[in-house]
Amino acid sequence: MRVTTLILAISTTVTAFVGQADAAPRQSSPVAVSYHDLNLATDAGRAALDRRIRRAADRSCGWSGAGIAVRAMDRKCRIAAIAGAQAPMELAVIAAERRQQVAAVAFTGARRSR
């Protein structure tokens, strides 16, 4: 079974700052980012997954409010979410590259046996 979804553990639980009434925090929840349709063994596939991760972080980390503290929390959340997705993304890329290498070896072996 091949895993084709990354789970971004986006920490969006926020304690409002004293006097910061314009912050409306969202509940913390993991976000699934699918890559089943991408070939992570290619630059284009990796770039597409990176865009998906960034969009998921943007959607999940956006708090309503215009205060400086709210924007700072939003930025920290996005940075942490994207950073947290890097290791699982790298593992998915390595797995995709290995599958491609195995397929190439199998194809080469099949051509030689003819």
- The total number of structural domains that make up the chain: 1
Tokens of 30: 């993991």
Give the residue numbers spanning the domain of 57. 5-112
The enclosing H or E element of 33 equals strand 31-34
Dist. CA 54–CA 32, nearest whole Å: 12
pTM as predicted: 0.70
List per-residue pLDDT tens for the chain, 114 residues long. Answer: 466 776 666 543 333 333 344 445 455 567 888 888 999 999 999 999 999 999 988 888 876 666 888 888 888 888 988 998 888 899 999 999 998 888 777 766 655 555
- Cβ(40)–Cβ(93) below 8 Å: yes
Distances (CA, A) of 52 to 20, 29, 45, 72: 31, 17, 11, 22
Q: What pLDDT score was predicted for residue 12? A: 39
Dist. CA 57–CA 77, nearest whole Å: 8
Q: For the chain, report the end-to-end CA distance as a whole number of angstroms.
A: 31
